[in-house]
Amino acid sequence: WVPSTWRELADDVRRVADDLRAGGVRKGDRVAVSGRTGREWLLVELAVLSLGGVVVGIDPHAPAEQAAFVLRHSQARFLVTDTRQGLERLPTAARDELVATAVWD
């Protein structure tokens, strides 16, 4: 547990939103998030929402085919995951359909 102020949270959300915007996320875009729940997940979720995007949650323990199905059917263009392995476990075809990916580990 690491305490933080509302100001610190807002500043961190702004920084993540700036990074997502620089990566191409725009209003209405679907951004998939897969990883451990925690502060990082919250920052990504709030940043996506602040940009007018849609958060698509993917269970990090879901089979690769199920994660690819969610990506495809949600029309997610971006993926943020907690580990490089979370990204690498996806089928190549699913990764190729994404505009950008990011790892917060």
pLDDT at 1: 75
Locus of tokens 């199905």: 69
Compute the distance between CA of residue 30 and CA of residue 33 in angstroms, rounded to an integer.
10
Considering only residues 22 and 86, tell me which one the structure prediction assigns the higher pLDDT. 22
38-96 tens-digit pLDDT = 999 999 999 999 999 999 999 999 999 999 999 999 999 999 999 999 889 999 999 99
Mean pLDDT of the 19-31 span: 97
| φ, ψ at 56 (rounded to 5°) | -115, 110
Q: Which residues pair with 78 in a beta bridge?
A: 31, 100
How far is residue 86's CA from residue 61's CA, in Å, rounded to a whole number?
A: 9
Give, in degrees to the nearest 5, the angle at Cα 49 between 96 and 55: 40
